[in-house]
Structure formats: C-alpha cells, structure tokens
Amino acid sequence: MSQTSCRLAIDVGGTFTDVVLVDDDSARIWFAKVLSTPDDPSRGSLEGAGEILQRTGIASSAVRDMVHATTVATNAVLEGKGAKTGMITTAGFRDALEMGREARYDIYDLGIRMPPPLVPRRRRMEVNERIGVDGEILTPLDEAEVAEVLSRLVEEAGIESLAICLLHGYAHPGHEARVAEIAARLFPDLTVSVSHQVSAEVREFERSSTTVVDAYVKPLVRNYVGRLNQGMADLGMSREVSMMLSHGGIGPASDVAETFPVRMIESGPAAGAIAAGHFAREALEQPDAIAFDMGGTTAKISVIQDGEPAITHEFEVGHVHRFKRGSGYPLQISAIELLEIGAGGGSIAHVNDLGLLNVGPKSAGADPGPVCYGQGGTEPTVTDGDLLLGYLDPGHFLGGDMQLDLAAVKASIEGGIADRLDMPVEQIAWGIHDVVNESMAAAIRAHGAEKGIDLRNFAMIAFGGAGPVHAYALARKLGLRRLLCPFGAGVASAIGCLAALPAVELVNAYFARLDEVDWSLVAGHYGAMRRSGEAALAKLIGDDSELSMQRSMDLRCQGQGYSVTVPISGGGAEISLPALYDGFAEIYQNVYGHRPPEVPLEVVGLRARVLNSRPKLEIAPALEAASGSALKGRRPVYFEASGGYVETAVYDRYQLPLGEIFRGPAIIEERETSIVAGPDTSFHLDPAANVIIDFKE
C-alpha cells in the first residue's frame, strides 16, 4: 500500500485521546481512540499515533503534517500545577491582580470566592518607572533596582518563570523590553513572558492576568511539546508538530510554546468548533448550526453562522465557580466563542443536601473513569446511566475493544442513589440522563437569548464521544428540527485540527478619533503585522506560500470604556470610513440592543489575522460494501416519548445504504460513539456519510 502524503491529527481530551489519519491522495480517513494519560498526555498521544500507523500499515515517513490539540495548558491552571511564577510591575500596581475589576460575579453570595492570584503577593515586585499614555517618560527605569528585584525573585523566592507587566507597556514597550533584556543577561535560564508581546492591548488587569497565565504555563508547555516532538521523531516522523490555537488556526508547536502558550489554552474545544463549521458548510443547505461537543468531562457549545464560529477577544480560564463568568482568570486572547458546561460522560451523579438528584460538575475523568469501565470507579456517571438505558452496547464500546460492566453499574446505582431516593434503578438512570440534558438545554437557551438568535432556525451538529448519545433528547428540548452526526463524530475535534488553517492573530494598540486617524501610519502598522505573521508562519508552510490578511479595528464611542471589533471589508489598502461607521453601528446594536449615540468614535486597537488558504479538507469515508442488512439486531431502549423501554432497532453505521430513509426509534452504532434516534424521527445517510436525523412535524 503506497501513500505519498498523509496528515495526522491528535486531540487530547479529559477521558480519551482521539487520533485521525487522512491520505491526501485518496481522501481516505482512519480513526483511533485510546484512553488519555493524565500523568503525561504526550504518552497517550504517542500510543494513539503508533496504533493507527500500525493498524493502517502506513509508514510514518508518509506523514507530512501532524496537528495537535491538547488541554495541557488549561489543566495546569485548573489543577494549580504551573511553574513557580514571579511578576515585575510598575510601582503602585502590585495589587492589580487581586483588585481586578472590583466586581462580584454573584452580588448576593456573601461567601463569594475569587480565584487566587497565580502569583502570590510576596512574588509580585514593583520597580520605579512610569511611561505616560502618550509615550512620555515620566519616571526613567531604575535598572539597578530591576537587577536587585530580579535577584530577590530568583535567588530568594526561587521563581522558575517571570511575567513583566508595566503600565502602558502595550503601547510603549521600551521599559518592558529593557527589563526582559536585564533578566536574560542575569538569569538566562529563567522563562520570561512580556505583556506587550503576549497581549498588546489596553486594560491593565486583563493584560497582567493574560501575561501571568502565559508565564505560569510556559515551562510546562515547553517541556510537553519537546517530549511530543521527540516522541514523534522516534516514530519516524520528520516534520515538527503543529499546534491548534484557541482562535481556530494552527501554528508551529515549538514556536507557540516559546512565545505565547496562553494562546493554545482552548485548543481542543476550538478544534471541535472548526470541525462543526466544516460539516455545516459541507452538509447543510443553510450552514447555521449549534455545535454540540460532549466528551468525557465537559460539553462545549458554539454557534455556527454562515459556516463559521464566532470569535471573541475576551476569555476566562480556571473558574472557581465552575463555568460562571467573572469567576476565572481573564485572558485577552482571540478565541472561538464557546459555552462550556460541566456535563460529560464522566460527570458523577449524586444526591445533594436537599435530597435531589444532581449530576456533575465533578467528573470521574479517565482515571478511574465511569463504573462500567471496570477501572476502579465506584460512583455512577452519565455514561453508566446511558448504558442502563440501552443507548450503549456493553459488548460494542470502542468497537468491542472495551467491555462494559452492566452488573457493576446496577450495583453502584442501587447502593449509592436508588436506595436513598427509594426509586427503581432504571428510573434513576433516566433521571441522570434527563438532568444532564436539561442543564445543557438551559445553558444553550440562555446563550441563544444573549446572542439574539432563534434556535429553532438552527440545526444541531453533534460530536464527541457522548454528543450523539445525548443530542436527540437535547435537540428535542430545544425544539430543533434537524440533527447532524458527522462521519467520525466521536473524533470530530481531531478532524477539526485537519480542517483548520495555518493562521496568526495579531493586535497593535493605536489611539485616535476615527475622523482624525493618520491612515498612512495605520497602513504602516498593518504592513508590519503582515510581515510578522508571515515570519511566524514560514516555519510551518514555507516562505513561498500565498498568505492573506484579514483586518479589523477596535472602535468605541468617545468616553466609553469598552470597544467592539469591526471588520475592514476588502483586501486593498484603502479603508472606507462609511463602511466602518455602518459596521460599528450594526455590531453595537447587536451587542447593546440599541443604536450608538451620536458621538465621535475612537480607535483603540488594530487587529490582523494572517492565514494561509490551503485546499479544504477532503474526506472520503471508507464505507463497507453492502453485504447484507445494516440491521444488527434489537434491544430494549428507554425513550421518554414512548413512556419507557421499547424494542429498538440497532444499526451498523458502516453498512447503512446512502439515501435510504429509516424510521426511529433506532440506535446507530459506530466504533467511537453511538447515535440515538427517537421514535419521533426519521434518518438517512447523506453522500458524505453523515447521519441526518429529522424530527417529525
């Protein structure tokens, strides 16, 4: 078997590591799914890569590209396992991290908890310096004091990484750059993150928080990427690993680790949203969809409009009140807008203090995992409930590679929950399934209302190991009419890695009234940003690749504190002022619910996205020739619409004929997941082997 050009993608999740291999010549695709290795995520990645190469018989030398998505940076923040970090800031701003916005995410919680600073006060040091907002040096940098502070931080406090965050460093980085030079000269082994390189934007607290998180995860990410690159080289792959970034593009993994690892903090969920956009464009007549990615630990929701997910420039990580906005560390990075919910296959069910059934946010994860995995888990989870309801086949999980223990699940629910609530085991299982679905539905409804969209006009694209299992009941709660489960739904985030484009997001601070902008200076800034983006991508795609640049401006009403990002249409040098005014008014209306006041507009930042428009991902699913009926058999499955268990057809997804319409209820099994279609649905396989489920009127 001769392959001349293949691409490999690996997505590390909380429970499973997904691997996808695509032959660019034939568009054939292969999947693998292995348990994640939380102690060292690179080990699971390498095991998965080795398994898929061995199973397919493809030589590692044929792999020309390997794209990776991982939660290693996020987990470092969540688990408090980052580097021992110090911070140097302008005199008088030492406590900015703790003061924050001086806002409470829950004004009625008298015992409110805020996330503890990743750099405690004793490791936050001040230096005498001050640059005004206009660039005037008000207080020269005291370099002797800088050297003294560095010595105290490194030699006495023992820091491993340093965040440099000086006032107005985003616009006038001279003092920050000098502090970094002194640090490199005195302590060359010290890891350093500088705010004007990490987040060149206004807002002192958010910029400092972003830089500190970057410094906190940088040594860990650097070591992880090094092990991954070395492991791939040991497997015989010559190309360096590419990394999925939070904004939906990819970049060289080693460069990301060395320069701005904070920008890969949401790489896995971003890959899922990119995959959903790809499937929406390819399979839906109107590519508007709710992307529903449910894995072992969390569920991620993103809104796809016109085939593209929304991008935000504000993000939080490490929430102390899980998934509550304002309770985490703010990051000024470009990221795909995601709604994250503490609901996954590993979410643990329990009885709360009020005697009610609750699910999550605590998760069994990959170790020990759900009870049915037989790896030491004792507390029933969502996956255990799904098994009891008949949605999963204990003998077909992961294509039969993992046997599920149904008896252990029954014993666990009986002893842990059913006896306390005096209810049958099956009713508890349905309660687990329904409670987690309702919590997700409520969050999606609220998110849709915030965005001003009518969810009923959207399809749902379900993926992740647990997504297709729960999508039917969730879509039914939301009143959706169509559900799409793509080929490879269980590993869709890894597919998204291959659909993503090489891209770099850049931002420059620039302040002026819009009617007084120096457009030649703006053109110079955009030119410099393009050159910077080209240099960053050269290592990944070469110097002679054709790149494009998408431009935008951060605009606000004069006197307001917050801005909105307005795209600049067209790729030419000319920028249309009327188009900027109209674009600002439209976005302002969508965000705030009313037209902007009649006041001058101000520019506060310039943004650019430099990307390579490589050919779109082509996938040709290797469907088996119909050797008989796709019907594998029947088993009892619980459906609320039918009032309980009903005898339900079970189909082999890989044997389904294209175009033929089937009636629910049904379970459609593939290796990485199972798709549930209720009694009020019909379904068919489209030409790209996606399962399309339509609800009856």
Digit-coded pLDDT (tens) for 466-503: 999 999 999 999 999 999 999 988 888 999 999 999 89
Q: Please, which pLDDT band fits residue 191 given cuts at 50, 70 and 90?
A: very high
State the chain's mean pLDDT as an integer.
89
Q: Would you place residue 573 in the very low, low, confident or very high pLDDT band (cuts 50, 70, 90)? A: low
Predicted local distance difference test score (pLDDT) of residue 93: 93
Coil/strand/helix, residue 37: coil
Domains (range + CATH), the chain = 82-221 (3.40.50), 347-433 (no CATH), 503-612 (3.30.1490)
The two structure tokens encoding residue 241: 């690993």
User: Does the pLDDT at position 291 exceed 50?
Assistant: yes
- For residue 626, pLDDT over 60 is answered with no
Indicate whether 1 pLDDT > 50.
no
CB 513 within 8 A of CB 601: yes
Mean per-residue pLDDT for 296-316?
88
Determine what percent of the chain is predicted with pLDDT higher than 90: 51
pLDDT of 622 reads: 64
pLDDT in the model for residue 114:
86
491/30 Cα distance (integer angstroms): 10
How much of the chain, in percent, has pLDDT values that exceed 70? 97
pLDDT band at 420 (very low <50, low <70, confident <90, very high): confident
* Confidence (pLDDT) at 323: 60
The whole-number pLDDT of residue 339 equals: 85
Whether omega for the bond prior to residue 120 falls within 30 degrees of 0, making it cis, is no
Does the pLDDT at position 3 exceed 50?
no
Whether residue 216 has pLDDT greater than 90: yes
| pLDDT greater than 70 at residue 4 | no
Can you tell me the mean pLDDT for 187-203? 93
Cβ-based neighbour number of residue 126 at 10 Å: 16
CB 256 within 8 A of CB 505: no
CA–CA dist 623, 655 (Å, integer): 7
pTM for this predicted structure: 0.88
Helix (H) or strand (E) holding 417: none
β-bridge pairing 666-669 and 644-652? parallel
Most confident residue range from 71-75, 266-270, 538-542, 689-693: 689-693
Residue 603: φ, ψ to 5°: -95, 130
Please say if the pLDDT value at position 676 is more than 60. yes
Q: pLDDT-derived band of residue 186, with 50, 70 and 90 as boundaries?
A: very high
- Does residue 437 come out as left (phi exceeding 0), alpha (psi in the -120 to 50 range) or beta? alpha
pLDDT value of residue 543: 67
What are the tens digits of pLDDT across the range 145-178? 999 999 999 999 999 999 999 999 988 999 999 9
What is the spatial distance between Cα 602 and Cα 607, in angstroms, rounded to a whole number? Answer: 15
Handedness of CA 529, 530, 531, 534 (dihedral sign): positive
Residue 233 scores a pLDDT above 50:
yes
- Residues 227, 233, 238, 239, Cα dihedral to 10°: -20
Residue 251 phi/psi, 5-degree rounding, is: -145, 165
Helical spans, DSSP H, in 293-424: 382-388, 406-413, 419-421
Q: Are 275 and 493 in contact (CB under 8 A)?
A: yes
- When pLDDT is averaged across residues 210-220 and rounded to a whole number, the result is 95
Residue 139 has pLDDT above 70, yes or no: yes
Asked if residues 247 and 318 have their Cβ atoms less than 8 Å apart, the reply is no
